[in-house]
């Protein structure tokens, strides 16, 4: 029976390795070092492990003296650990040198000290091919310090950490150097975007081009990619095999993968154009040298040139990663392949599992996956929150959304009427949910949004339709300040409150569309509606600013300048009975257009003419509107 102590168990590689250890019949106990702040994460990960009752969390931190272990834990662990597997590390090319050193170097020294103190039988250190730095040529499993330089703090600290393990003689050790680790070759699972995944959004964009478009490639160097299941299976096998101490194993592809080959493997499964042929070596050499210099220059520029880093962020590629797209060394794994002989373990060709990696990324990690068109149409399966949904435009919009396959989230004060709208939708075979709420009550809105986000995976769209209209001249409003405050509360503050409440959620998903129902009165300047139009104009101005700020996050806005609509809101105003008005269904069609087409603005001819006239001749428009006001036509 074997007892293990594992650092980095909440990381992707570490969690997969713990799962393998627990599956061994000879596993007696697995102690995992976990930071107090990561206990919940460990619980979530451990939920899928077999025999999780064998897992014993040990609170600590690689960055703390003595790993932060309590005296009780030290006594409990002393003399009882067969294998200490050290996987905890910072793998972030954007991290500072101090942070890299504190975890990767100082943390490894603390692990080595603990291994000696506890008298563990074996110390297994998971290093990286990064120790080769900028070495050019073959780098064998016996090679270590060849005078190589390091292009980043991460590479330098991985070298320093391995040196610490090699320099100690208290505990027998083995070292494992994985190449660029990608997802599981059988499931595609991975927990973060890294390495070649940085360029998957580019493949998705290129897929819009004709797939038969021939591209010309060049020899821009090579990388070395291995799936996580091979890495953890190999470590599991090698850690328990009868090999002498002091061995280093390259968990790498037996042959380097040219960048053009990697591109074609993913471009083919993404549906993007592939490289039909490559330039001969003599022609590629200058391009490769130019590429190497160019990538380093771009990385430096991102730190120095204002706005340059933003460009890379929009592309999804950290500028710090650009100089490390290719490996200058070629890694010899002959000894490792020999040690694995008879185990059935081999590194699959990238083309054998690239489609699996692509599908997993597309379904789980694509930052724009929420924006992709769906089989049910633009609204198919989309959750659409609609305020003022108990009657009028809101009710008609909810019914229309449901007919188009959307899922309306009905919001209004009147619970009974909301229930009736939901019944109409469900009777027709649709799905809807009701959320009675007073939108002028900030606490009620917060509670409602909390419930919505707990019950639904996403809120894709928001229609701010609820509103209040007041028709009263200014001279008759001099003692009615509350009219202006009431209209502002529901027409402006309420939608802004909802937008701000949903903005972080939509930003995280990089998708959201918000429709704000305004009125063509803001374009015309209709007399007697100062309170109403001012509140709508405030929302229009807010929307214009929010639209610009949120655009880069995949969030879009539409302002619908509605005409007069015959709804319960206008019934108290007798003059409206003589004027032509749209039906709620006609108004809902405008909202539907806003949800499906997502234009910035929807305006009708009367409103557009009013805005243009005022821009050209404002005084003339004022005189005309004053005559209309005195005649009482509106």
Identify the H or E element spanning 524.
helix 521-524
Dihedral sign computed on CA atoms, order 193, 197, 202, 204: negative
Beta-carbon contacts of 350 under 8 Å, excluding residues fewer than 6 positions away, are 225, 253, 257, 261, 262, 265
Instruction: List the catalytic residue out of 532, 576, 614, 629.
Output: 532
Report the Cα 425 to chain-centroid distance in Å.
33
- Alpha-carbon distance of 342 to 337, in angstroms, equals 10
- Alpha-carbon distance of 498 to 197, in angstroms, equals 34
- Alpha-carbon distance of 591 to 461, in angstroms, equals 12
DSSP letters, 124-149, are EEE--GGGGTT--EEE-TT---SS--
Alpha helices in 306-345 (DSSP H): 308-315, 334-339
Alpha helices in 241-333 (DSSP H): 259-270, 281-304, 308-315
Report the Cα 505 to chain-centroid distance in Å.
11
532 is known as an active-site residue: yes
Q: What angle do CA 405, 381, 398 make, to 5 degrees?
A: 50
Radius of gyration of the chain (CA): 32
3-class secondary structure, 177 = strand
Beta-carbon contacts of 434 under 8 Å, excluding residues fewer than 6 positions away, are 410, 415, 418, 419, 421, 422
Report the Cα 243 to chain-centroid distance in Å.
43
Backbone angles phi, psi at 452, to 5 degrees: -60, -50
Q: Which residues partner with 330 through β-bridges?
A: 138
Q: What angle do CA 39, 40, 42 make, to 5 degrees?
A: 65
Torsion of CA 204, 206, 211, 213, to 10 degrees: -170
Q: How, if at all, do strands 461-464 and 512-519 pair?
A: parallel
* Axis crossing angle, helix 281-304 with helix 308-315, rounded to the nearest 10: 120
Report the Cα 401 to chain-centroid distance in Å.
27
Tell which residue, 423, 549, 408, has the closest CA to residue 465. 408
In Å, what is the CA distance from 594 to each residue of 345, 458, 461, 557, 588?
Answer: 55, 19, 11, 9, 10
DSSP state, residue 582: B
Catalytic residues: 532
């Amino acid at each position: 029976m074997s007892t293990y102590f594992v650092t980095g168990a909440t990381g992707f590689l570490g969690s997969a390795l713990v799962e393998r250890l627990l599956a061994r019949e000879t596993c007696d106990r697995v102690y995992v070092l976990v930071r107090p702040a990561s206990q919940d994460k460990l619980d979530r990960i451990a939920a899928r492990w077999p025999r999780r009752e064998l897992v014993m969390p040990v609170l600590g931190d690689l960055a703390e003296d003595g790993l932060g272990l309590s005296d009780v834990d030290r006594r409990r662990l002393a003399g009882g650990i067969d294998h200490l597997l050290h996987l905890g590390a910072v793998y972030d090319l954007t991290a500072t040198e101090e942070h890299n050193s504190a975890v990767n170097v100082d943390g490894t020294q603390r692990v080595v000290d603990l291994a000696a103190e506890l008298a563990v039988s074996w110390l297994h250190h998971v290093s990286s091919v990064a120790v080769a730095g900028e070495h050019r040529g073959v780098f064998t499993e016996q090679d270590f310090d060849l005078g190589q330089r390091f292009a980043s703090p991460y590479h330098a600290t991985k070298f320093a950490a391995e040196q610490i393990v090699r320099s100690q003689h208290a505990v027998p050790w083995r070292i494992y150097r994985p190449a660029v680790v990608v997802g599981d070759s059988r499931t595609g699972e991975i927990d973060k975007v890294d390495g070649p995944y940085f360029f998957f959004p580019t493949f998705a964009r290129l897929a819009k081009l004709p797939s038969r478009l021939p591209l010309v490639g060049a020899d821009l160097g090579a990388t070395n990619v291995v799936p996580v299941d091979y890495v953890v299976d190999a470590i599991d096998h090698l850690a328990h095999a009868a090999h002498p101490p002091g061995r280093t194993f390259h968990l790498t592809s037996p042959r380097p993968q040219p960048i053009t080959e990697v591109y074609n493997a993913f471009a083919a499964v993404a549906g993007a154009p592939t490289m039909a042929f490559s330039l001969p070596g003599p022609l590629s050499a200058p391009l490769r040298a130019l590429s190497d210099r160019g990538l380093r220059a771009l990385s430096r520029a991102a730190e120095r040139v204002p706005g340059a880093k933003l460009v890379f962020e929009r592309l999804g590629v950290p500028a710090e990663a650009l100089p490390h797209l290719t490996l200058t060394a070629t890694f010899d794994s002959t000894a490792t392949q020999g040690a694995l002989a008879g185990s059935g373990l081999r590194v699959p060709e990238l083309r054998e599992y690239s489609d699996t990696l692509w599908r997993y990324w597309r379904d789980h990690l694509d930052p724009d996956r929420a924006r992709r068109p769906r089989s049910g149409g633009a609204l198919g399966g989309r959750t659409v929150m609609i305020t003022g949904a108990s009657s009028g435009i809101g009710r008609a919009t909810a019914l229309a959304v449901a007919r188009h396959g959307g899922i309306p989230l009905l919001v209004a004060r009147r619970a009974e009427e909301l229930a009736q709208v939901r019944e109409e939708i469900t009777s027709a075979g649709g799905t809807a949910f009701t959320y009675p709420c007073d939108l002028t009550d900030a606490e009620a809105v917060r509670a409602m949004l909390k419930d919505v986000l707990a019950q639904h995976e996403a809120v894709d769209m928001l229609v701010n339709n609820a509103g209040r209209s007041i028709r009263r001249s200014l001279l008759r409003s001099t003692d009615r300040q509350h009219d202006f405050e009431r209209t502002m509360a529901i027409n402006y503050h309420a939608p802004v409150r909802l937008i701000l409440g949903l903005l972080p959620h939509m930003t995280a998903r990089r998708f959201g569309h918000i429709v704000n129902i305004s009125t063509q009165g803001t374009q015309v300047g209709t007399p007697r509606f100062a309170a109403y139009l001012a509140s709508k104009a405030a929302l229009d101005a807010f929307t214009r600013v929010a639209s610009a700020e949120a655009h880069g996050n995949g969030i879009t806005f539409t302002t619908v300048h509605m005409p007069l609509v015959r709804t319960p809101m206008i019934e108290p105003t007798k003059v409206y009975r003589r004027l032509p008005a749209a039906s709620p269904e006609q108004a809902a069609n405008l909202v539907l257009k806003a949800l499906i087409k997502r234009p910035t603005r929807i305006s009708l001819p009367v409103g557009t003419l009013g805005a243009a006239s005022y821009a050209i001749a404002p005084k003339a428009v004022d005189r005309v509107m004053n005559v209309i006001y005195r005649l009482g036509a509106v």
